[in-house]
Chains A and B, each alone.
Chain A
Amino acid sequence: MTKPPSANEGIKAASRLLRGGIAEGLRDRITGGLAADDQQLTKFHGIYQQDDRDLRPERAKKKLEPAYGFMARLRVPGGVMTGPQWLAMERIARERGNGTLRLTTRQTIQFHGILKGNLQAAIRGIHAAMMDTIAACGDVNRNVIAAADPQRAGAHKGAVDLARRLGGHLLPKSRAWHEIWIDGEQVVPAGDAPAESEPIYGPTYLPRKFKIAIAVPPTNDVDVFAHDLGFIAIEQDGRCVGYDVTVGGGMGMTHGEPDTFPRTADVIGFCTPDEAVDIAEKVVTIQRDWGDRSDRKHARLKYTIEREGLDRFVAELATRRGRALAPARPYAFARSGDALGWSEGDDGRAHFSLFIENGRVGGALMAALHAIAEVHRGEFVLTPNQNLIIAGVAPGERAAVAALLGEHGLANPAGGLRRNAMACVALPTCGLALAESERSLPGLVTQLEAALAASGLAEDEITIRMTGCPNGCARPYLAEIGLVGRGPGTYHLYLGGAFDGTRLNKLFRRDLKEPEIVATLAPLFSTYAAERRPGERFSDFAIRTGVVAATTAGNRFHEDVAA
């Protein structure tokens, strides 16, 4: 029985390769929004229409439409940008956005609150800095992320190069982004078919978003198992000889629908560096052809693999490539969080990993980074933990950077829980949020830190992640403590996710209010402090002592739940 395609499939098909009516919609200055169909299409251009939900209640009685603003997300392969690019983005945020930059879990920057009338100017500014927002959202391959590990210069360069090659190869071929945002003129008249075509995607692109990550063990900062497609660098004698390939990871699920679940990816074999791009293309085309185009809740690659079976998927990949993958090679991850502070690279350059709470840069922090960007000649690396590495500080430059960090109070490290904490954006801009996240987690962490300190755990590293809805932007299902929004001030509490990102967590308590979260975790912290084995992580302890059962696979996420 075939179900009809989802509404989005029709919108994509009719869009003339992502053009739709966006250009006309931009000319209408009386509304701050775009037509509903065009809102779906702008995502492919890295642009989301949102509205300020804090203002929703008052708008209609003031005879005002919702306070529309747009989120624009950069495409930054591997999260690497230059100082001048940082300064350009900061300026766009101040002049065209809400004055803040939001570093995200996928190594990019989001601008929020851009008015429709400012969108073209903002995107042109991005383009002028030789960056773009193409395919940063939408049913396509998104920004490719790579281990933010400049300490190992060669491995980092290799990972970032691969991210760029993958991102470039899987970029849509449509000229729509340039036409609409940069040239400002419609090259393809309405009604005419565009001249270009999409050899990889086809006219309806993918059934759903597609995410790729490149990990360099022992760091799993990218959370490689949370992605549709992953590459784990395998090194021999200090040199990257190839990658273990992972498929079928993904975070999103829907409350109350047990056939939706987060899934850690499967490792399906090993490839050499020069095979990686072709493998990515073939995986994408299988998902293009096999993915569910009628139900967007089951459209990610993880559900395709669950439905068809991993073996069948691997066989299809071998067929499309003309050969099978080599057997996977061993690797070992140690952590998923960032090591903060100064580090020395193997090329003699220094790096400073700066903790940025929830990735939000504004106000005094923005001013501090502005000052640093003006003297820093190296790179700025966005990490998958929403932090920022001031990377490649030359020996002669280090004193100046260190002085600026000290001057702006950025040199002091946060506590063990806070520096491993991540929240998604949620309210007020995200339309999906059911509960607060970015605005709520810092205060909750403060309370939990008090409980940890009482148990002598102030410096112990524990990962904690919060999202305002179950879609999983902050990868909450891979945290030792996961909090997923259910409604205003209410969260499900998950425990047992591995510190290195290799194991999903498990639902522990339902619908807790903030004080209940603290009251629930505080006794667990004190038991952990008293009874843990040497080096035992909080999540491993919770599983060993039966607080929660271990989640061994995504499709068992909802099983063995005691709550």
Chain B
Amino acid sequence: MASSQATAMIPFAEEQLAPLRSLLADSSAEQRTWLSGYIAGFQAANAPAAAAAPPAAKPALTVLYATESGNSEALAASAKREAGKLGFAARVLDMADASLDGLAKAGNLLVIASTWGEGDPPQRAEAFFAALMASDAPPLAGLRYAVLALGDRAYAKFCETGRRIDTRLAELGATRLAPVEECDLDFEVPARAWIGTTLRELGAETPASVIHVDFMRPPATEAAAHSRARPFAAEIAELVNLNSSRSTVRNFHIALSLAGSGLAYEPGDAIGVLPTNDPALVDDVLRAAGLDHDDALRAALATRHDITTLTQPQISAYAALVGDAKLAAIGADPLQAAAFRAERQFIDLLDAAPHKLAAEQLAGLLRPLAPRLYSVASSRKLVDETAELLVAEVAWEAHGRARRGVASGEIARRRVGETLPAYVQANRHFRLPDEAERPVLMIGPGTGVAPFRAFMQEQEALGQKRRSWLFFGARQFTHDFLYQLDWQEWLRAGLLTRMDVAFSRDQPEKQYVQDRMWEQRRDLFAWLEEGAVLYVCGDAAAMAKDVHAMLARIVADQSGRDGEAYLRDLVQAGRYKRDVY
């Protein structure tokens, strides 16, 4: 009778129970576990406060990220949400703010780390990374972890930062829950899948817990209605090559209308643009593969596949596909591959060993076409529902072929009134200081000046006369002084306090922003000592390194202190910010 007694105690009518029984009969153990937590969570969410059950001890999870462009940060936020649903007490931690000691007690750790440049960690993560790699790093036994590594296969040391963190955590005694997951530019889908799987595996090994679901409320939306996955068709309201017609380069000022998109950005953020490949290059690739009649593939190549970048794995894969021994040898040797890839693109691989391919073979060789991020050069407070971008045209000639950057090449082809798929990529680390009095030192040669124009527009809109000092550089004063009239106006109005410029090709001796910094070293150091926030934006390969070295030299020269240590402290204090690419 136990059963009937039990039945009698069931507060459901039989017809209510039928679907529940049917659901349970077909369910997996995992589903039943989830359901039990879900019901508990539902009860907790809807019970009167006084009657709430004491909170169950939830397993702790730290999502630790190291980001440069914001991708890792966005994934970390998404992982936290996901973990919350699975019943973890999750927190997100920027590697810039993390300490090893704090980490030792984290329990469960999910690391999401991107690799920058030639295998480097993101700038703000440098200090933590160095401490982790140091010989005196503390033991981390008791820590359970998994690493998601982001990278770009076009670079030699793919996912290096994530790999090294994964290895090092194991060396320090932490327990690896899953092999390191390496993601290329097309990280979105695999990264989210991995996060889901890893969290569930982690959940299965931790005590059953209450799962929090915002059942009654609509599911948490993305920050904006439009995202990388669902970009907004932004109309080009303005498109001007800012360089003189006599310049050797072109930089486009492009105003995108965000009207009606709900997209909102802050100065310092970037606008992601999903580019379309050059139709002529698409045709060339199709022709080279003997697929020029495949219009479906033509459409896919136009918007979905990266047909310009050439990676070492592509060389090997193509060599295997067409059975080319010479290419296979190149693909197998990093040095040879690097030499081959220098100034070559995917089309050159096809040209090197022409072969008819099947559509799926060609598509299989190609990486997805990644969006391009451009630091926004405007403030909504001044330009309203518009985002202004500064896009350098990438164009060169190599191996008998004219080459163009995908997005900049497309923008050069575009006309006002056409649209570009765009979304906002937040970069909350590259913002004006909250304190209106804090001075800012801005170093932005070339297109690196874009966010500083946004800063100045913001200041202008707010009527804020913060002490501000801009260093700008380009090739020629007459032909390449980007936004010259804007800076002159802000200087006249007293919104911009100082500006120093360097033009490399105006005189026999090359001059760069770091030369101007050195000339002004006394004042520059004084500004730092007075609490200025230092921003560097622009070219990562040469400029950011040279500027960094110059900063260290200036600190040493002016104070006798260790320049590198001084700059590390600045980074830790959030007063040395970089947005480099």
Contacts and interface: CB of A to CB of B under 8 A. Distances in A.
B197 interface: no
Interface string B226-240: 000000000000001
A65 B506 contact: no
Given A62-B243, A62-B244, A117-B477, A30 B484 contact: yes
Interface stretch (A53-61, A202-210, A408-416): A53-61
B245 A55 contact: yes
A76 B416 CA distance: 54
Contact of B478 (A30, A96, A115): A115
A87 interface: no
* Max chain A C-beta neighbours (<10 A), residue from B242, B482, B484, B486: B484
Given A55-B244, A61-B240, A96 B485 contact: no
B167 interface: no
Contacts of A55: 244-246
Nearest to B246: A55
B124 interface: no
Contacts of B485: 60, 63-65
A69 interface: yes
A67 B507 contact: no
B244 A30 contact: no
B243 A32 contact: no
Interface residues of A, number: 23
A451 B479 CA distance: 43
B244 A67 contact: yes
Contacts of A59: 244
A26 to B, nearest CB: 14
A122 B244 CA distance: 24
Given A30-B484, A30-B487, A96 B507 contact: yes
Interface string A14-49: 000000000000000111100000000000000000
B499 interface: yes
B477 A32 contact: yes
B481 interface: yes
A95 interface: yes
Contacts of B243: 62
A453 to B, nearest CB: 38
B508 interface: yes
Contacts of B491: 30
Contact of B484 (A52, A64, A118, A121): A64
A64 B246 contact: no
Contact of B242 (A29, A62, A67): A62
Interface in B446-496: 477-479, 481-488, 491
Interface string A76-99: 000000000000000000011000
B488 A117 contact: no
B507 A64 contact: no
A30 B498 CA distance: 10
A63 B484 CA distance: 6
B175 interface: no
Interface residues of B, number: 27
B572 interface: no
A237 B456 CA distance: 79
A156 to B, nearest CB: 37
Interface string B409-421: 0000000000000
Contact of B507 (A61, A69, A118): A118
A32 B500 contact: no
Contacts of B487: 30
Listed residue (B241, B243, B477, B501) with the most chain A CB atoms within 10 angstroms of its CB = B477
Nearest to B487: A30
B354 to A, nearest CB: 44
Given A31-B488, A117-B507, A121-B507, A63 B477 contact: no
A62 B507 contact: no
Given A30-B484, A63-B485, A115-B477, A95 B507 contact: yes
A115 B502 CA distance: 13
B506 A117 contact: yes
A535 to B, nearest CB: 50
B478 A29 contact: no
Query: Max chain B CB contacts within 10 Å: which of A30, A65, A95?
Result: A30
A24 to B, nearest CB: 14
A117 B478 CA distance: 11
B253 interface: yes
Interface string B501-518: 101001110000000000
Contacts of A52: 478
A60 B483 CA distance: 10
Contacts of A63: 240, 242, 253, 482-486
B488 A30 contact: yes
B240 A62 contact: yes
Nearest to A122: B507
Contacts of A67: 244, 478-479
Nearest to B503: A117
A96 B506 CA distance: 8
Nearest to A62: B242
Contact of B244 (A58, A96, A115, A117): A58
A65 B481 CA distance: 9
Nearest to B251: A62
Contacts of A118: 506-507
A117 B501 CA distance: 11
B491 to A, nearest CB: 6
Nearest to A57: B245
Given A30-B499, A117-B477, A64 B506 contact: no
Nearest to B472: A30
Interface string B27-53: 000000000000000000000000000
Contacts of A62: 240-244
A58 B507 contact: no
A51 B241 CA distance: 21
Contacts of B484: 30, 63-65
Nearest to B478: A67
Contacts of A96: 507
Nearest to B496: A30
Nearest to B502: A29
A64 B507 CA distance: 20
Contacts of B245: 55, 58
A64 B240 contact: no
A154 to B, nearest CB: 43
Contacts of A115: 477-478, 506
Nearest to B489: A63
A68 B487 CA distance: 17
Contacts of B507: 95-96, 117-118, 121
Contact of B508 (A29, A30, A95, A117): A95
Given A63-B484, A63-B486, A29 B253 contact: no
Nearest to A61: B240
Interface in B506-556: 506-508
Contacts of A31: 488
B506 A32 contact: no
A115 B475 CA distance: 13
Nearest to B253: A63
B244 A32 contact: no
Contact of B501 (A29, A64, A69, A95): A29
Nearest to B241: A62
Interface in B230-272: 240-246, 253
4 shortest interchain CB distances as A-B pairs: A63-B485, A95-B508, A67-B478, A64-B484
Given A55-B244, A117-B506, A121-B507, 19 more contacts: A30-B499, A30-B501, A31-B488, A52-B478, A55-B245, A62-B241, A62-B242, A63-B253, A63-B482, A63-B484, A63-B485, A63-B486, A64-B478, A64-B484, A65-B484, A65-B485, A67-B244, A67-B479, A117-B503
27 contacts: A29-B500, A29-B501, A30-B484, A30-B487, A30-B488, A30-B501, A31-B488, A55-B246, A58-B244, A59-B244, A62-B240, A62-B243, A62-B244, A63-B240, A63-B242, A63-B253, A63-B483, A64-B244, A64-B478, A64-B484, A65-B488, A67-B478, A95-B507, A115-B477, A115-B506, A118-B506, A118-B507
